[in-house]
Each structure stands twice: as C-alpha cells, then as structure tokens.
Structure 1
Amino acid sequence: MADRLYTALKTDEIISSLRAFSKLDKATIARIAFTYSISLKGKEIANSSNFSGGEMKRTSFFGNDELFIKTIIKHTYSITNIEENDLYSNKSIIKNHIDDGAILLWELFTKNGEDINRWYLELVSTIKMSSNKKVKAKDLDIFIGRTVLNNQELILNLNDTTKHANSHLAIMGKPGVGKTQFLLKLLADIRVQSDYQTNFIFFDYKGDVVDNQTFVDVTKSRTYKLMQGTETLPINPFLLNSYSDQDIQLSAREKAESFASINAKFGPVQKGTLTETIMAGYQAREKQSNPFPDFNDILQIALASYEEEGKKDDTLIEILRDLANFNLFWSHGSSIPPLEKVSNRTMIIDLHKMPVLKELVGYLIIERLYKEMASLPDSEIKDGRRTIRTILVIDEAHNYLGQKNIFLEKIIREGRSKGIVVFFASQSPQDYQQKFFNFQELLEFSYIFQCEGASAKALQDILGCSPKTAKDLQTEVARLEPFQVICRSNSNTEEYSKFSGEAFYKNY
C-alpha cells in the first residue's frame, strides 16, 4: 500500500500559488482539486504521467475522510471495490483528479481576476458534495494568563455548560493596554482548538486586525476591506429563506427600523417610504432567478418615486445613494452568487475607511446572522460541552451598544442554544448598561483592562463583588499595567482575580 504520491510539476506550482493566496494548507487544496475534478469530469479523466512535483502523503490527504473519499470514487466510477494502487499511488484515480483539478482551479482563479474571495465563492457554489459530517462539540478550554499574586494558570472554559450559563464575553479598557492582543489570542486558540469548526465574524473598526497577516493566516480568515479598491461583501441583505408577502413585508419593516436606529434624522415618513420601496423592489424581481433586490434597485425605485411626487432628496436618499454607490454589498450583475450563509464563514470585515454607514453595515450583517440563527437546530451538547458555531466579534463596541439594535439583542438573548456567541471589545464597563437593554446581565465573561472613570456600580455589577470592593477597585483599575486584567474570581474566597493576560503576538 503506497503511503504517498507525487503530483505533476504544474500541480505543485499551482498548489503553491493558491496556498499563498488562500492561506489553505497543501493537503486541503489537493482535496479541493480532487473534489472539483471528480464533480465536473466524473470518470472521464486522462491519466497523469508526470511525477516530478511535490510529495503528498496519504495521511495528510485523507485526514479523517478516507471512507468518504472512497465512497465518492466508488459512486462516480460505479464500482463496488477499489484496489489500493488504484486508490492512492502515482498511477491512481486520486492522483489523476488532483492533477486535473489543480489546472481547473487555476483556470477558475484567473477567470475571477485572481481575486481569491471571488474564486472561493464560485468554487463552493459549484461543488455540491458534502460529507454530511456532524460538527462535534469540542472542549474550548483557553489559557488566558497567570494570576499576579501566585502565578497560577487561568483557564477560560468557554463552552462548559456545567459551569456557565452562556459564552458571551466582553473585554474593556482604554486603547493601548493590550485588549486587542488578548482578544486575538482568544480567537486564534478557539479556531485551532475547535479544528476550525467554530467560525467568527469580526467587525474591525480600526483596520489593525485585518492587516495582522499572522492572525489572518492562523485563523484562516477571509478579509474584506470595504471602500479600499473594488472589494465588496458577497452578502445581499435582502436574501430571505422565504419570499411570501408576509416575510417580505416583515423584512422591509425591519430594515426601516435598522435605518432609523442609527440616524436620528430618519423619521416615520422615511421609515414608511423605505418599507414601501423595499417591497416594490421584491415585486420587481419576483419572477427572476434571484427574487430579491439589491441597493441599486432600491435607490432607483426611491428616486423615481421622489421625482414623481416632486420631493427633494432627504436622509433616506442620501443613505441609499451611499449604499449603492460605495458598492458595499453584493449586487445583481456580479459574476459570483451571494453567500447563502454567513454563519459558517470566518470573516474580518474592515470598516475603518468608511466615513459613514459603519453601524448600518454592521446592523445589516447582524440582522442576516440572526435570521440564519433562528432557522438553525440547537447546537450539540456532549459531556456538558456545547458546540459553538459562530462568534460575532464587535470591536469598538461602544459604537453599537448605545444604539437600539433589536437583532443584536436577540442574538444575546437567544444565541446560547444555537451556538451563536457575541464577543465585545470596548473602552469602559459603563458601555454595557444601556437604558433600553442591559447587556451586562447576559455577559458570562468580562475582562477589565486599565480604564479611567469606571464607576463603582458598573464594576460591582460586572464582577459581582461588594460595593466596598468595587469602590476600592476604581483606583486599581485606573492604575493597571498593560496586559494586567481584573475578572470575576472562580474561587469562593476571593471576590475577583487579577492576572497577566496572554497576548497573541507572544503565542503565534
């Protein structure tokens, strides 16, 4: 039984190039090439006679999917048994499809202008095969630092349902004290320890995370730099599970509420107009293959309505014009289909170059995530560990927490059973107690870095300590060294823990 094969030289060159662009490992790209070729060509494949490329070990290629890959081959070739040399060797079916698939992948890449995100989206829309493997719960026990007093390790048991009611988390502190590095370390560990089954959607307000190439590589993230070149989010906010009149009307009203939440000038008249305009957009597209509008559709309908009524441009037109002209979201005419799901993607969305609409873009993505979450079955619990599907990461969260975002509130309240978690990073403990919604009550984990002006009441509520301890901590929190953190204690004898937090750059 051969334990390795050698690809064609051209295949090796293609895999190396795609690896540099995609950040996927060599074996993963080889499996994609195999699957792509066998799904498009079937058994009508030429033998590959070039062996001067790179080595591909059997264990690396198959991973845990040998039975599944054998089943694909048997089904495609209409055979009940397969000899080992025909399965995996320099003269095997797998080698033939890897070499053929690599060329197909490169042709697809060049067709999409060597844009790795467009390549990836067209690729996944083409390959329909799936192993149907169930995502299994992992033990997400994350090392977060050592206590200052006795140098003991602190472990975050993120998904342990026997200890914690949920997995929502907040990090707070002023700029430059280490909270972003601490957050990145948490996310990298979660990705690695979950075997990349737990995803995240990261709203990057400062643009420093999207430019951290090591973090992007370690977490295998897709980056989207909005308003920087021609990059567009492959997401259409108007895509629905059902296009009944009731679903369309509800979605239109919810969009109008989102617009109003982030702009005080957006009044009842504009809300009503936007609702009617969105419904008209669906009606105009109802008989087409993609029965949903894009923002250019909505803008053109609104402009025509305003012209007919002799109305001047107002806040609604201004917002719609920005959304359409800045080309932020997927639009009709795109060479790739919109994402059907966002909850199974790991994405960093860079918002820092946007002069306006930061919060609205976030709202629309959060709404989309909530709609998907509501349709998901409950995530699996095994031995007390719940599978975490996706983490919504909101940097500079004070920009969101003061707005009334019904979908963020619903994710916080309802996400536990679905395996959808929210991580916040903000500047102050006071950010989480809003008049309309108390986020703090639903935060299971809170980490306080150096911050100024923290109220004793906020510290008491977040840490669960006594009023006297909270009062004493006001001064200590203001004087914490970089990477020193205060959190709720796991001990019955201490009201809080003080520890030195781990940084991403020291671990990866």
Structure 2
Amino acid sequence: MNMPLGRVLTSERAEKIKDDLTEFTGLRGDQVAVLAICLSLGVYGKKEFSFEDATGYELNPQTLTRNGSDPWVEALFSLVYGRDLSVPEESETLTHLVRGHLNHGLYLLQEMKDGSGGRLDAFLKEISQYVTIRHLQLQDRWRPVVHGIKLFVGTDVDSSNRVEWEFNNTEKSPSPHVGIAGRSGYGKTQLLKALLAQLCGIEARVPCLVFDYKGDFARDTSFVQSLNAQVLNPEHDPLPIHLFALPDYSEKTIKRFAARMQESFSAAVRMGEKQQYRLRQAIIEAFNRRRGKAPPYPDWREVAEANCNLSQSGEADTVSGVLDKIVTYELFADSTTSVPNEPFYARNTIIDLSALSAYQELVVYLLLDHVYYDMRSKGDALISEGWQELRLIIALDEAHHYLQEDNPVLGRLLREGRSFGIAVFLSTQTLSDFSNQSVDYSELINNVFLFQLAQVKRADLTKLLRVSREEARGLEDEIHRLKPGQCVWSRPVGIGDRTYSVIEAEQFYKTIGRDI
C-alpha cells in the first residue's frame, strides 16, 4: 500500500524547540517528533490547524513508519479524526494534520521543559502524567515473550557427553559475543556455520548478517539453503540500501551523520585532516543541494561531485579516488533506485565480499555503522526471567582484516550491541587479532572457541580467557595438542566464573544431517 503521508516540514519555531529538546533529553530528533505527535493527539484530539510556516526541519515519513512497514500514523489519525486518512486522496489532509500536531506537540513539550526548571527528571515526570494505567496494561499484554536458546556445540572429548550452551542466559554470561580462533582447515568455519544454522536457520527467529570475506559462505549451497538466506554481491549488483536516508534532515543530524561517515572512511582509508574535513563538508553540501527535493537525501555520485567541487587543486587524491570507485562500481543503490521497505538485514543475509579486493573493509565499516545506529534506534532488547531477546547475529569471517584497524563502530557494537539484542561472532586465525594498540576486543568477548593455533602467547590467553599465567601455560600445551575438529571451549557458567572443556566441535556438515 502506498503511504499517503507527504513531506512533513515543521515551523521555524518548532525546529528550534526540537533541536533544544534533543540536546536536553538525549533523544534523536525523530524520537522527539513521535513523542510530540502523540502528546498533541492526546491533548488536542480532533483539532483543525491553521497554516504555519514550513521553513523548519523535514521529518522523514519513512522514519515515522519504520520504512513503510508500520501504518500507525494512518491508523491513529484515522481513529482520532473518525475517517479513513489512509487513502491517496487524503494525502494532503493527513500531511497537514501530522504537521500541525508535530508543531503543537513540540510547543507543549517546550512548556513542560520551561516548567521543569531545567531538570530532566521533572520534565519526564510531567510527560508521564499522560500515560494512563490502561496504556500500561496494554503494553504488558502485548510484550513479546523471550525464549531461551540452547545450542549444541559438540561432544566432550573426555566423557563423550553431549555439550549444550544456553546462549542467551544473562545469569551466566553478561555478553553474547563469540570469538573463534584457529589455523586454517581445523574446523573454525564449520563450527561458525553450525552455530549460525542453529541460531538463524529456517525454524529459528533470529536473523543473521554474515560478512563473507572469501566467499566460503556464499558458495556453500547447503548453508545458504539451511538459512534461506539472500546473498548480496556488490560486485554484481548494488547493495539495496540508501545509506544517506536519515531519520530527519535537520542541520545538526546531517552534521553528525557526516562526522560518522568520515569516521568509517578513516578506519579503512588513510586520510589527512584536510581530506577528512573536505569529505564531511562534501556530504553536508550534497544534502544541502537536495533540500526541497524528493528524495531529501543524496547518493554517492552527488557526494563525489560535491567533493570534487570543494577540492582546491582539482587533482585526484585518495578520497576522490575511493568515491570514484564506489560510484563507478555501483556498490550501493543510488537515490532514485527503489529498495525494500524493511532493512536489508531483517532476513538472513550473506554479503559476499570476495571480489571487492581493496574495498572490502570500507563496505563492511559503512554497513556496520548503518546497522549499529538503526538497531540502537529500536531501544533496549527485552530481558525476561534471565533470558535476553536476540534481534540480530553479526558474523565476521576472517575478522583479522577488521580487528587490526582502529574501527570505532566495531568497538561500539561489541560494547553496546548486547543491550540492543545484537551478538557479534568473530572468526580469525590468531589470538593476538583480538587486541591492537587502541582497542582491546578481548575484554568484550565472553565466549571463546580455540582450535589449534600456529602460535599461542600466554599473555593473549590470560587476557582473552581471564586466567592466571600458570593456567595459561597448561592451556598453551593443550591447544598445541588439539586435533582437527577439536577445540578448547571457554565460556561463563555464572557471572565472574568460567569453565573450560576440550570438545569435538560441532561441524555444519553434521548439523544438516541430524535433528538437533
């Protein structure tokens, strides 16, 4: 169904209030906007609004409706106003009413802030008075149920007993992130596939996003079928994502986004300070050129053109060269190309990076940044009776290519992703990959599978496994003796406590042939 909601532009006064409230509350602009709309509907009901200037910020209708998948705007306004506002001929009316309630809701929030004495707790208490007991009862009634997830990880070498893992049990593990390390050919990829098949298979409900460095996952037909996954290969077709589509298009939001994009570029491409500044300005300029147009966001071609115009010398440099390759190779969809309403990672997805050579890291960093901020906008994942809701599994194969760089977004995903329901799986060849000069990823990983390694440093074992040097010495010998398919599994059995087992790790080719 086509959404009848058109461009929602606030008044200039409302824009200033929105910027002030985002700073005051720490909420994003689109979150403040939804709060304002709902507050105004509750206070004013079927109010008819006179026209106000529309010179403020533009709220992205796709953000209001979760990319068109949630018709709450049409449904709520139709209910309040007693007529069907979802039909195309009511588009202008619906847009006018949304704009009016957005403006007046922001005015109400400003009054509440002024009356709070600048105290956030007093401001929130004032808002909470509009939430009734009935609302809370309905919220509890429709709260999703969180189920425990139990994985079969292998067989204990000593006892031959079946070994299972309560993956999302928060009483045993404060973090769901997983590290898998081992020499090539010893079973780490087979274990990773087996875990993903159990977590994200056709019968499961947790989607996964796999960054496939060498094509080992995308070319495995059995694995792709077991997940019913879509395989995206940017070498052949543009990735179906508009990276520049934002929740709103205020000046502050665009500047923050430009800084984020520059940060992701800098992690993958060596850039001087002047190049970093020019890239930020080029992104901002590309957005400015889209003001008043549809869609309100640019694409990489427009950013590349803006970057070229801002270059004083006019000569090609690292940044302009990378931008040119992104455009020439059509790695991402342009702004005029239609993409699915739901996020590309809402279903099991494998990104085949094997043919991208020098641009693999950049594509990964840009997508991780997008996923991180999109998932953060959904709020905290639920925890029920010790089980945490899982919303997305992110798997990075050959992760040493990303761990060796100072990658801020990967650090944020590992530090904060758990609270959003994200689990990150990192598969690499050496233990030292889990820590570099700037970021110690080993502190953020609680679940570790170690196959035979070419080199084992006790210092790495003590950091990653939280053991004494004496224990690390014994584990070092154990790891050197491991046979193909065997691994040392270190996992929490309670907050602060750990246990170690030598197991015959589950292999994907066995998983698909048995009833787990």
TM, length-normalised to structure 1: 0.70
Task: Work out which of the residue numbers 153, 161, 176 in structure 2 matches 1:152.
Answer: 161
Given that 1:147 and 1:498 are in contact with CA atoms closer than 8 Å, whether structure 2 keeps it comes out as yes
Residue 182 (structure 1) aligned with residue 191 (structure 2): yes
Unaligned runs of 5+ in 2: 4-65, 73-138
Are 1:377 and 2:379 matched, yes or no? yes
In structure 2, what is the Cα distance between the partners aligned to 1:489 and 1:329?
Answer: 39
The alpha-carbon distance between structure 1 residues 386 and 396, as it changes in their structure 2 partners (threshold 3 A), is: same
What SS does the corresponding residue of 1:288 show, helix, strand or coil?
A: coil
Shift of 1:435: 2.2
CA distance, structure 2, for counterparts of residue 125 and residue 375 of structure 1: 13
How far did 1:373 drift? 2.1
Large movers: runs of 4+ above 4 Å: 124-130, 132-135, 489-495
- Residue correspondence of structure 1 range 300-449 to structure 2 within 5 A: 300-306=305-311, 309-334=312-337, 336-337=338-339, 341-342=343-344, 344-449=346-451
Q: Quick one: which of 239, 250, 265 aligns to 1:244?
A: 250
* Cα separation, partners in 2 of 1:496 and 1:196, compared to 1, 3 Å: closer
> Post-superposition shift, 1:458?
1.0
**Whole-angstrom distance in 2 between the partners of 1:502 and 1:434:** 30
Q: 1:432: how far off? A: 1.0
Given candidates 272, 281, 296, the residue that maps to 1:291 is 296
Sort the Cα spacing of 1:128 and 1:219 in 2 relative to 1 into closer, same or farther, 3 A: same
Q: CA, structure 1 residues 491+375, in 2 after alignment: closer, same or farther (shift >3 Å)?
A: closer
Structure 1: unaligned runs, 5 residues or longer: 1-35, 41-123
CA distance in 1: counterparts of 2:315 and 2:222, whole angstroms: 49
Aligned-pair distance for 1:126?
7.9
- 1:212 corresponds, among 208, 212, 220, to 220
Partner of residue 141 from structure 1, selected from 146, 150, 171: 150
Between the aligned partners of 2:440 and 2:253, the Cα distance in structure 1 is: 29
What is the CA–CA distance in structure 2 between the aligned matches of 1:500 and 1:316, rounded to whole Å? 47
- C-alpha change, 1:340 and 1:407, in structure 2 (3 Å) is farther
SS in 2 for 1:357: helix
Question: For the Cα contact (< 8 Å) 1:344–1:389, is it kept in 2?
Answer: no
Cα 1:423–1:484 change in 2 (3 A) is same
1:217, CA displacement in angstroms? 1.5
Aligned to 1:166: 175
TM-score (norm 2): 0.69
Structure 1 residue 504 corresponds to structure 2 residue 508:
yes
State how far apart, in whole Å, the 2-side matches of 1:225 and 1:147 are: 39
Cα displacement (A) at 1:495: 5.7
The alpha-carbon deviation at position 476 of structure 1 amounts to: 3.0
Does structure 1 residue 203 correspond to structure 2 residue 211? Answer: yes
The question of 1:260 aligning with 2:269 is answered: no
Give secondary structure in 1 for the equivalent of 2:232.
strand
* 1:489/1:496 contact within 8 Å kept: yes
Provide the C-alpha distance between the structure 2 equivalents of 1:239 and 1:494, rounded to a whole number of angstroms.
44
3-state DSSP class of the match of 1:356? helix
- 1:497 is displaced (CA, Å) by 1.1
The letter for the 2-side match of 1:251 is F
- Tell me, yes or no, if the aligned pair for 2:451 and 2:479 is still in contact at 8 Å: yes
Establish whether residue 225 from structure 1 lines up as the match of residue 228 from structure 2: no
Q: Secondary structure at the match of 2:390?
A: coil
The code of the aligned residue for 1:296 comes to: R
Q: Distance in 2 between matches of 1:348 and 1:491?
A: 32
Instruction: Give the Å deviation of 1:127.
Output: 7.2
Q: CA separation of 1:340/1:273 partners in 2, compared to 1, >3 Å: closer, same or farther?
A: farther
Q: Which amino acid aligns with 1:242?
A: D
Q: Deviations over 1:262-304 (max 9, x none)?
A: 223x110100110110001111112222211111111122223
Instruction: Tell me the distance in 1 between the aligned counterparts of 2:451 and 2:272.
Output: 39
Distance 1:505 1:203 in 2: 20
Instruction: Tell me the secondary structure at the aligned position of residue 271 of structure 1.
Output: helix
Report percent identity of matched pairs: 29
Q: 1:417-452, CA deviations, whole angstroms, 9 ceiling, x for partnerless residues?
A: 210111100111111122212111111101001111
Kindly state the Cα deviation for residue 154 of structure 1 after the two structures are TM-superposed: 1.4
Aligned length in residues: 381
Question: 2:184 & 2:359 partners in 1: Cα distance?
Answer: 23
